[in-house]
Structure 1
Amino acid sequence: MDSAVLSGRGLSRHFIVKGAPAPVEAVREVSLEVASGALTALVGPDGAGKTTLLRMAAGLLAPSGGSLSVLGVDVAARPQEVQDRISYMPQRFGLYEDLSVQENMDLYADLHGVPADVRRQRFARLLHMTDLARYTARPAGKLSGGMKQKLGLACTLVRLPELLLLDEPTVGVDPLSRRELWEIVQQLVDEERLSVIVSTSYMDEAERCQQVFVMHEGRLLASGAPAELRSRAEGLSFTAMPRAGESARTLQARLIDAREVVVDAVPEGGHVRFIRRADAADGAIGQLLDGLPVTPVPARLEDGFMMLLQAAKVAPARAAQGGSAALVQHGASVAAGGVADGGEAMIEVRDLVRKFGDFTAVASTSFSVARGEIFGLLGPNGAGKTTTFRMLCGLLPASSGFLQVAGVNLRHARAQARAKVGYVSQKFALYGNLTVQENLDFFGGAYGLYGKRLQQRTSQVLEEFQLRGQEHMPSGQLPGGFKQRLAMATGLLHEPEVLFLDEPTSGADPLARREFWRRITSLSEQGVTIVVTTHFMEEAEYCDRIVIQDAGKLLAIGTPREVRAQAGDAGNMEDAFIAIVEKNRSGGAR
């Protein structure tokens, strides 16, 4: 191993949080050595301590205990010396949205004192790597999410650091942009021997790294090369094929509920990939699968990750402890695939158009969504899916076309329709200075719930979303996963007929995503119609049907199997997504 670029011994950090009975231990007795000139990943569930560790490495937080050396410098004693030699890109990088791409890069070069002759060469290389050379005059606020992340990375690298720290750099970024970002990072490591430490929720990203550190509740659970960590699940990973008429989502729910024999299960390419517990009896597995065809598959890093969490006595899905039955009582008859028998349309869209001046964000889009269906809107950043989504929610009027939700025409009665829908936004949109209880009371009142009915519904969602004990915590101080639970709880208080979810698992780890989708499956089974946008292509496999959009146009619509077939029988949804979008763009549409 090369010399360590970061070395921690007994590292701890606690925070005093208003409303908490004791200091919150964000990092606890962590010791680690990070190799120089390599790509290193920090992974772990929400609240594991990854961001706190990166902020200590960047000299932005002082350790509460232990020691931390970065580039051979005691970062607590000499933080400025470390900051002069590293670059740090936080989750929300501070771009100036009114400034152009070039002006943002100039500003960061000025802040870091990069000489004029050096910055000319550096800018040219970074603009070429990020494919932003064509957009230097465009305001940063007019860039797509993926382009903003690439500009943030370019600004972070206007000087050549000895160590690059990246905190969840691909959160909210579509698969195409995610791939491009990782190509840039890998190029820097390969050509400039740059040392990079990245925290990520994507296990396929961590699999690219030479070294992976797995954290949980502030502690270091394990570390090693990806092959070493995934070996923990070797011989325990399989795929099962659902029976005819059974969706992969339904089989996945059955498997993941069987916590005594299954560690993890996730839909994948029409199958369900699952990990059996090492101590599970063959008879119990056989009874659970009931004769379904099963194929052994090589373990991957995500499998090893889930095994580590299971060993730490974490329950990835708590649906077996009551599921989501308390959330809604619509009593609808729902078929196995989630679509109601009879196919009652809850959403109808015909020739929908939305223009902003001369720019057409959504062009003549048509589809319908049945009661109890899970319907996915997919597309690259800037594709028009968020605009479509906001029109469906009644948050944005259509320029033309027909749009009806829950029997209400949104072009004429948006307020009436909004009373029948629930909405969970990508960014935490609740009141951070209000407690969990105060947010629930406020939004319950906004939805027309009062007195005993509000108390009953509040009690139900607190229980369902494991928010008991957090009622008096200011919501802005909750970990990200708890914020997402609270947002879901407020969106479901009034028992809506249609639930709109905008990037609901953005930044969530695999553990939280399984838990989330088990709830969504239960809601669908009870007749709630779900419309979801997501950049996690594995999540498209939970949907009954999906739409792929780009440049405002509808490129594909159908079941996940039909969309994979349209892409040439792609093995997984991410490959299918990339193939469909690239084919459209190569045909001249951009």
Structure 2
Amino acid sequence: MSASEAALVATDVRKTFVRNTGEVVEALAGVSLQVERGALTALVGPDGAGKTTLLRLASGLVVPDSGSLDVIGIDVTRFPQQVQDKISYMPQRFGLYEDLSVQENLDLYADLHGVPQVERNEVYPRLFGMTQLGRFKERPAGKLSGGMKQKLGLACTLVRSPQLLLLDEPTVGVDPLSRRELWEIVFQLVKDGLSVIVSTSYLDEAERCERAVLMHAGRILAEGRPNEITASAKGCCFLVRAPDGMPARSLQARLFGLPDIADAVPEAGRVRVVRRSSAAPPPFELDGKSLEAEAVEPRFEDAFMLLFDAIAGDQRRESHAGIAGQASVNEETVVEVRDLVRMFGNFTAVDHVSFKVRRGEVYGLLGPNGAGKSTTFKMLCGLLPATSGTLHVAGENLLTAGAKARQRLGYVAQKFSLYGQLTVDENLEFFASAYGLRGSSRRERIKALKEQFELDRFSELPSGQLPGGFKQRLALAAALLHQPEILFLDEATTGADPLARRQFWGRITGLSERGVTVIVTTHFMEEAEYCDRIIILDAGKNLAEGTPLDIRAHAETDRDKAPTMEQAFIAIVEKQRRKDKEGGA
């Protein structure tokens, strides 16, 4: 590929940053890369891989320490403004003005880019049609759902016609339906001839791109067509059935720590396993007994994890060490919700929802943006009163004894909710005091959690400067200081890469096996496979409840391919919406 055919050409690009502690972080360590014009290219890698840094360099917002970087044929280091005039960049936290309407946000960005009215008259109808935001023109951006906000952010980047579009994690925190709609827009843009570079934590998204670039610690490990990368895992992938009575997540935790295993994740009641080598694998065994296993075709995610295993294998095994054992779910009900209703004025956010959760169970609350799951979650945590219905948590009625019940709960929020200016130690000390821990028990508890979550080396670092995966660890450690009986996880892995998510779920499995009840919301449908049972909500109503295998049965697919959890989720929600539409017609 010649330079004129490339949307981006990087040659030995290097970039370092210095933290407040004086630690030097090598964000890019000699990256060389060519990205084809008119193509869709994915940047994939764990936290700290250098994906965002590369996009910021390409947009002219940051200057490389050395090396050369040409964007659409222009040296971006020498002429950043020329590049910025011809590209569009949508960062992870796109700057929407929440008090302004959808139309006013678009007008503001058109003003900033100097788009004349005649051009706006041509582009606005296309943007509204593409994003389906036309009927929400007058709605304040702050009142849009997460998926609609992302669509508006994308529309704002497209008020002028760029030659290159840079998207940094555009679907983080977005439900599967909205995620599908966003990608339909991106595919149409590429079909119309636009060059797009996207960083993503969703490996199924990378698999649908024309090229994928796998990064780690500021270096490129592999690049090529996704099917070429996937082929490297040929002969290494199996589905293993758990022994009777053992949840798939428990078998996953035990297999994940074995020396010849590169990856293991729950899937449809079994465990998908990736071996390090395809050469004559021995049978899978657990406690001296053979496990039933079936060879399966590799996915892009299998190849991704195989590539990273050689680099992060020891670290991930440490995170799973000593946690696996027999599950301790029993029949004791610790959360009981009956006819739960929550009204906001005339709007019904939660509409007569009922379910029960047993001790030691992992229970999933799933639903599209605006489905009512976050409102339900807040009521379960005692953060929001119910309009009607009954809510018993940890043996207490939340309507009459909320404070007493909250002492037995732990909570990890979707967004990092600790104090970013305080160090790791200062945050843990503060929350230990808030939970009433004193003296030697407080010191011992903090010490134990720092060791468990490998936070010692960050003791004096302000928590806001922690890598994403370690922010998660600190938030979870703070929530566990008082040894809660019930742990609430509100989209706690949003924005985390696959490596960090597996480490996180390894710890959650360990907690559940020690009798801690876990209630989780997530937009990663593969994470629902870690749950014992799931409830799917939309428009405040319960659409379906059951095990992951029960939920998958709602999806239709061909004989040769089992339905995915995401396909089942979309099928359930769309079926109910069609039914509601027909009923209201």
Question: TM-score under structure 1 normalisation?
Answer: 0.94
Deviation (angstroms), 1:284: 6.4
Partner-residue secondary structure (3-state), 2:457: coil
Q: Distance in 2 between matches of 1:290 and 1:48?
A: 40
The amino acid of 1:152's aligned partner reads G
Q: Distance in 2 between matches of 1:239 and 1:335?
A: 20
Deviation (angstroms), 1:323: 3.7
Deviation (angstroms), 1:92: 0.7
Q: Distance in 2 between matches of 1:335 and 1:274?
A: 19
Partner-residue secondary structure (3-state), 2:56: helix
Indicate conservation of the 8 Å contact 1:261/1:284, yes or no. Answer: no
1:282-313: CA deviation from partner (whole Å, max 9, x where unpaired): 33645679433222211111111111111225
Identity percentage of aligned residues: 62
1:7 corresponds in structure 2 to 9
Q: Distance in 1 between matches of 2:79 and 2:214?
A: 28
Q: 2:27 aligned with 1:37, yes or no?
A: no
Aligned pair in 2 of structure 1 residues 319, 373: CA closer, same or farther (>3 Å)? Answer: farther
1:482 corresponds in structure 2 to 470
Matches within 5 A, 1:14-93: 14-20=16-22, 22-93=23-94
Partner-residue secondary structure (3-state), 2:197: strand
Q: Distance in 2 between matches of 1:268 and 1:283?
A: 22
Q: 1:376 aligns with which of 364, 378, 384?
A: 364
1:272 corresponds in structure 2 to 271
Deviation (angstroms), 1:162: 0.4
1:138-174: CA deviation from partner (whole Å, max 9, x where unpaired): 1111111011111111111111100000000000000
Partner-residue secondary structure (3-state), 1:11: strand
Q: Distance in 2 between matches of 1:95 and 1:320?
A: 38
Deviation (angstroms), 1:224: 1.1
Partner-residue secondary structure (3-state), 2:290: coil
2:190 corresponds in structure 1 to 189
Q: How many residues align?
A: 576
1:203-233: CA deviation from partner (whole Å, max 9, x where unpaired): 1000111111111111111111112211221
2:297 corresponds in structure 1 to 298
Indicate conservation of the 8 Å contact 2:41/2:198, yes or no. Answer: yes
1:293-341: CA deviation from partner (whole Å, max 9, x where unpaired): 222211111111111111225446335663459xxxxxxxx974x522x
Indicate conservation of the 8 Å contact 1:39/1:197, yes or no. Answer: yes
Q: 2:498 aligns with which of 510, 524, 538?
A: 510
2:540 corresponds in structure 1 to 552
The amino acid of 1:520's aligned partner reads I
Q: Distance in 2 between matches of 1:263 and 1:541?
A: 19
Partner-residue secondary structure (3-state), 1:413: helix
Indicate conservation of the 8 Å contact 2:94/2:153, yes or no. Answer: yes
Deviation (angstroms), 1:67: 1.4
1:331 corresponds in structure 2 to none
Which moved further from structure 2: 407-416 or 45-54? 407-416
Partner-residue secondary structure (3-state), 1:278: coil
Question: TM-score under structure 2 normalisation?
Answer: 0.95
Indicate conservation of the 8 Å contact 1:226/1:301, yes or no. Answer: yes
2:343 corresponds in structure 1 to 355
Q: Distance in 1 between matches of 2:282 and 2:188?
A: 49
The amino acid of 2:243's aligned partner reads R
2:422 corresponds in structure 1 to 434
Indicate conservation of the 8 Å contact 1:7/1:69, yes or no. Answer: yes
Indicate conservation of the 8 Å contact 1:316/1:512, yes or no. Answer: no
Instruction: Note the aligned Cα RMSD (angstroms).
Output: 1.8
1:328 corresponds in structure 2 to none
Aligned pair in 2 of structure 1 residues 471, 235: CA closer, same or farther (>3 Å)? Answer: same
Indicate conservation of the 8 Å contact 1:30/1:219, yes or no. Answer: yes
The amino acid of 2:368's aligned partner reads P
Indicate conservation of the 8 Å contact 1:261/1:285, yes or no. Answer: no
Partner-residue secondary structure (3-state), 2:166: strand
Matches within 5 A, 1:416-431: 416-431=404-419
Indicate conservation of the 8 Å contact 2:365/2:520, yes or no. Answer: yes
Indicate conservation of the 8 Å contact 1:129/1:184, yes or no. Answer: yes
The amino acid of 1:556's aligned partner reads A
Deviation (angstroms), 1:564: 2.0
Q: Distance in 1 between matches of 2:250 and 2:421?
A: 39
The amino acid of 1:225's aligned partner reads R
1:401-424: CA deviation from partner (whole Å, max 9, x where unpaired): 111111111112222111110000
Q: Which stretches in structure 1 are left out of the alignment for 5+ residues?
A: 326-333
The amino acid of 2:132's aligned partner reads D
Indicate conservation of the 8 Å contact 2:412/2:479, yes or no. Answer: yes
Q: 2:579 aligned with 1:587, yes or no?
A: yes
Aligned pair in 2 of structure 1 residues 60, 320: CA closer, same or farther (>3 Å)? Answer: closer
Indicate conservation of the 8 Å contact 2:235/2:278, yes or no. Answer: no
Q: 2:329 aligned with 1:339, yes or no?
A: yes
The amino acid of 1:15's aligned partner reads F
Deviation (angstroms), 1:16: 1.5
Q: Which stretches in structure 2 are left out of the alignment for 5+ residues?
A: none
Indicate conservation of the 8 Å contact 1:339/1:544, yes or no. Answer: no
1:329 corresponds in structure 2 to none
1:244 corresponds in structure 2 to 244
Q: Distance in 1 between matches of 2:315 and 2:450?
A: 19
1:210 corresponds in structure 2 to 210
Indicate conservation of the 8 Å contact 2:487/2:518, yes or no. Answer: yes
Aligned pair in 2 of structure 1 residues 399, 35: CA closer, same or farther (>3 Å)? Answer: same
The amino acid of 1:413's aligned partner reads A
